[in-house]
């Protein structure tokens, strides 16, 4: 029986929160999780939306890529 493991090369995750500080906390926690599978942040795209009643809504898309650790 042969067992092989393929490393994840790329991973894109979406996050959302009602405050920028909470969004940052969520992303930072996921960065730590992804470090354990040898992924690091490649790029981040973020947006803020204001609803009709004035509430702010924050979202981000984070692209993780495999680090070059051998």
Q: Give the CA dihedral 68, 26, 21, 60, nearest 10 degrees.
A: 70
Answer whether 56's CB lies under 8 Å from 49's CB: yes
Query: Span 10-66: which CATH code?
Result: 3.30.1660
Q: What is the pLDDT of residue 18?
A: 95
Query: pLDDT by residue for the chain (70 residues), tens digit each?
Result: 788 777 889 999 999 999 999 999 999 999 999 999 999 999 999 999 999 999 999 999 999 999 876 5
- Can you point out the beta strands (E) in the chain? 10-17, 39-50, 56-66
Q: What is the pLDDT of residue 2?
A: 80
**Can you give the residue ranges of every domain in the chain?**
10-66
* Alpha carbon distances (Å) from 24 to 13, 43, 56, 62: 14, 14, 15, 11
d(C-alpha 22, C-alpha 19), whole Å: 5
């Amino acid at each position: 029986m042969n067992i092989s493991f393929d490393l994840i090369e790329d991973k894109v995750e979406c996050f959302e929160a009602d405050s920028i500080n909470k969004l940052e906390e969520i992303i930072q926690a996921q960065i730590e999780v992804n470090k354990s599978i040898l992924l690091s942040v490649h790029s981040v795209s973020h947006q803020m939306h204001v609803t009709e009643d004035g509430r702010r809504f924050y979202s981000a898309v984070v692209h993780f890529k495999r680090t070059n650790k051998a």
